[in-house]
Chain A
Amino acid sequence: MNRNQKIKLYLFIVILIMGILFPVFFPRLSIPFGFAYIVYLMSKPMAVRLTSGSKKQRLTYTMVTLTGTLLLLFPLIVTFYNVDTNFESFLLDLNRTQIILDEKFHAIQSNILTKFGIRLNIDPAKMLMSKLETHGLSLINKFPEYLSVLFEWMLLVPLFLYFFFIESHKLKIRFLEIIPNPIFEKTYVLFSQFNTKFGEYIIAKFIEATLLGLIVTLGLLLIGFPYPFILGLFAGITNILPYIGPFLGAIPGLLIALLSNDPNVSLVGILVIFTIANLVDMILVFPLLVSKIVNLHPLLVVVSIMIGSQIAGVLGMVVIIPFIAFFKLLFKEIYKDLSVHL
């Protein structure tokens, strides 16, 4: 490698390190940047199809950005519009839950006292309420801060998205210029494959989560279960996490079923709905959509999710899978090259 190539290599490594450290030092900027990049990768295939052979690319990109922004804004506006009524209904339900919890606990306490002669000196309802009060208060205190961050994102995400649509090709060409010649071809192809895989994975997970959320919502509506939309949404979001997600998604529904005295609220009903939804996901959606994109061993997926959660919380749990798939691809390529040259 000559002097120029060595300088290029050092520059490339420095830029890579800066790219890795960027989220650590500038989280306020890197989170909307990363989110916009994910939305860009998701909407890119559609945008390319819309602009195929056309000269009106800028108009199409503007339309895609505006549509994406409206789609993001709509649920937020609806949520904030109903925030006071939702909060009131939540407080009412919380009181009801405390009474039911008290009743159930006293029944268990008297059972234990008569059968074993042991008196339990704990009050779970009181403990739960005091915890909820503390967390609830801190949430309310931080609400204006969250709101300002959210509005900042609402401004930055569409801006970055539009920038990705218009400038990403030029930016990519400039970035690739600094890659040294000996590793150029491989780096470029791996970089493209990662982008494609990442985009496809996010789209596939989005479709999978939407379908599961829809099945759960419709099922809950059919049996007259309370909060069908919120529970469906929660089940859809948690389903983004492979293997662990379906169990997490069922917890709120199961808790409501356990703590409710309402005859419409059936534990068996909700168990059946979640089982059907997850069977459809496991048998149809996952094999057809996701597994083809990310061909990883289940154990590796679970370990990756745990590592991802330690690095970057819930976001880490979601994005770690395509990264692991990329590293698998990278090691495969290195191994192939070594086996040829050695």
Chain B
Amino acid sequence: MTYEKEMSEKISRGESTEDKLEIPLLKYLWNSSPLSFGKKDGLHSFFKNITVLKSFTDNEVRIFTKFLHRREFQNQEVIFNEGDSGYGFYFIFSGSVNIFINHESQSAPGEFVLKLEKSQYFGEMGLLEEFNRRTATAVASENTVLLGLFKPDLEMMLEQYPVMGAKFLRETALIMAERMGQLTKEIKVLRKKISRLESKL
């Protein structure tokens, strides 16, 4: 639901709206307007394309961005290593990230798994698991800007904005469930292949 809809519904129900003008909110709406001459690569337009935030209202996206940490990585800089403790997950704001397994150093990069581009995200298990170990190594494949959300931020969000925090957790859980489904399918295919090989032997 957009902010405008939320407000018009409140007015139609006869509920009171905020008396005071919220300058940060107005500034945000001004920047996010399609007619605005402001930055087109701002946070609002970026988060519009992120599936994990699809159920968020404009105002919730604005609040959500307050909890994020902007981290800049240079080309070939390691974001995290396989086996590291994981405490959060990242959105790719600009640039791209390569994911490796069995990565040891720049000279021994290990096995390349996939390349993640702008607007994609990774490391969500670190946010949900209590004692998470990174299962792969993430390396910036060019100069990259990431927006990170970590365990303390999520805890703070759940305390300060419980509805928004619950929405975010629901969306993250749905993504995890989708990935689990894909993994189950892959395991089934692999089992079939193994059983075929076993029968041949």
> Which residues of A approach B to under 8 Å, CB–CB?
2, 4-5, 48-49, 51-53, 55, 169, 173, 176-177, 181-182, 184-186, 188-189, 192-193, 333, 336-337, 340-341
Bound together, the chains give a CA A176 to CA B71 distance in angstroms of 10
Stretch with Cβ within 8 A of A (4 or more), from B46-54, B111-119, B160-168 = B160-168
B77 with A173: CB separation less than 8 A: no
A192 in contact with B73 (CB, 8 Å): no
Interface size on B, residues (CB 8 A): 30
Quote the shortest CB–CB distance from A218 to chain B (angstroms): 36
Question: What are 18 A-B pairs at a CB distance below 8 A?
Answer: A5-B77, A52-B161, A53-B160, A53-B163, A169-B66, A176-B69, A177-B69, A177-B70, A185-B87, A185-B148, A185-B150, A188-B150, A192-B151, A192-B152, A193-B152, A337-B84, A337-B85, A340-B84
A53 and B152 in contact, given A185-B85, A333-B85 (Cβ under 8 angstroms): no
Q: Is the interface of A mostly helix, strand, loop or mixed?
A: helix
How far is it, in angstroms, between the C-alpha of A186 and the C-alpha of B80 when the chains are bound? 11
A282 to B191, CA, bound (A): 58
Expressed in whole angstroms, the minimum distance between the Cβ of B95 and any Cβ of chain A is: 14
**B78 and A182: CB pair below 8 A?**
yes
- Whether B79 pairs with A181 at a CB distance below 8 angstroms is yes
5 extra A-B contacts, CB within 8 A, seeds A52-B162, A189-B150, A340-B83: A51-B160, A55-B18, A185-B85, A188-B150, A341-B83
- Which B residues lie within 8 Å of A192 (CB)? 151-152
Bound-state Cα–Cα, A4 to B75, Å: 12
Residues of B within 8 A of A5 (CB): 77
CA distance A84 to B80 in the complex (A): 65
Q: How many pairs, one residue from A and one from B, have CB atoms within 8 Å of each other in the complex?
A: 61
Which residues of the other chain, B, contact A48 by a CB distance below 8 angstroms? Answer: 156, 159-160
A185 shortest CB reach to chain B, Å: 5
* B77 CB, min distance to chain A CBs, angstroms: 7
B103 at interface by CB-CB < 8 Å: no
What is the minimal beta-carbon distance from A84 to any residue of chain B, in angstroms? 48
Question: How far does the Cβ of B29 sit from chain A's closest Cβ, in whole Å?
Answer: 15
- In the complex, which residue of chain A has the Cβ closest to the Cβ of B123? A185
Q: Are B159 and A49 in contact (CB under 8 A)?
A: yes
Residues of B within 8 A of A176 (CB): 69
Partner of B85 from A53, A184, A336 at Cβ < 8 Å: A336
Give A176 to B87 CA distance when docked, in angstroms: 15
**Complex contacts, B152 vs chain A, CB 8 Å:** 188-189, 192-193
Q: Is B62 an interface residue (CB 8 A)?
A: no
Question: Is B74 a contact of A188 with CB atoms below 8 Å?
Answer: no
Residues of B contacting A169 with CB < 8 Å?
A: 66
Residues of chain B from 75 to 100 with CB closer than 8 A to chain A in the complex: 77-81, 83-88
> Would B73 and A181 count as touching, CB distance under 8 A?
yes
Indicate the member of B66, B133, B148, B159 with the most A CB atoms within 10 Å: B159
Cα A188 to Cα B74 in complex, Å, equals: 21
Find chain B residues with CB under 8 A from A188 CB. Answer: 69, 87, 150, 152
The chain B residue sitting closest to A340, CB to CB, is B83
Let me know if A2 and B77 touch, CB within 8 A.
yes
Q: B residues within 8 A CB of A184?
A: 69, 71
Q: Given A49-B159, A52-B159, A340-B133: A185 and B86 within 8 A (CB)?
A: yes
Closest partner residue, chain B, to A184 (CB atom): B71
Closest to A45 in B: B159
A176 to B152, CA, bound (A): 13
**Minimal Cβ-Cβ distance residue in B for A333:** B85
Query: Is the Cβ of B74 less than 8 Å from the Cβ of A4?
Result: yes
B183 to chain A, nearest CB (A): 24
- CB of A191 to closest CB in B, whole Å: 8
B83 touches A173 (CB 8 A): no
Closest 6 CB pairs of A and B: A192-B152, A340-B83, A189-B87, A185-B87, A48-B159, A2-B74
Q: Is the CB of A52 within 8 A of B160?
A: yes
Q: Looking across the interface, which residue of chain A has its beta carbon closest to that of B88? A: A185
Q: A4-B74, A188-B150, A337-B84 are in contact. Are A173 and B69 (CB under 8 A)?
A: yes
Residues of B close to A49: CB separation below 8 A: 159
* Candidate in A173, A193, A336 with the most chain B CB atoms within 10 angstroms: A173
Q: Given the complex of chains A and B, what is the CA–CA distance between A22 and B161 in angstroms?
A: 35
The minimal Cβ–Cβ distance linking B59 to chain A, given in whole angstroms, is 10
Per the bound structure, the CA–CA distance linking A182 and B80 in Å amounts to 7
Chain A residues near B150 (CB, 8 Å)?
A: 185, 188-189
Q: Give the shortest distance, in Å, between B71 (CB) and chain A (any CB).
A: 6
Which chain A positions have C-beta within 8 A of B160?
A: 48, 51-53
How many Å from the CB of B58 to the closest CB on chain A?
Answer: 15
State whether B162 touches A53 (Cβ < 8 A). Answer: yes
**With the chains together, A336 CA to B80 CA distance in Å?**
16
Q: In the assembled complex, which residues on chain A have CB atoms less than 8 Å from the CB atom of B162?
A: 52-53
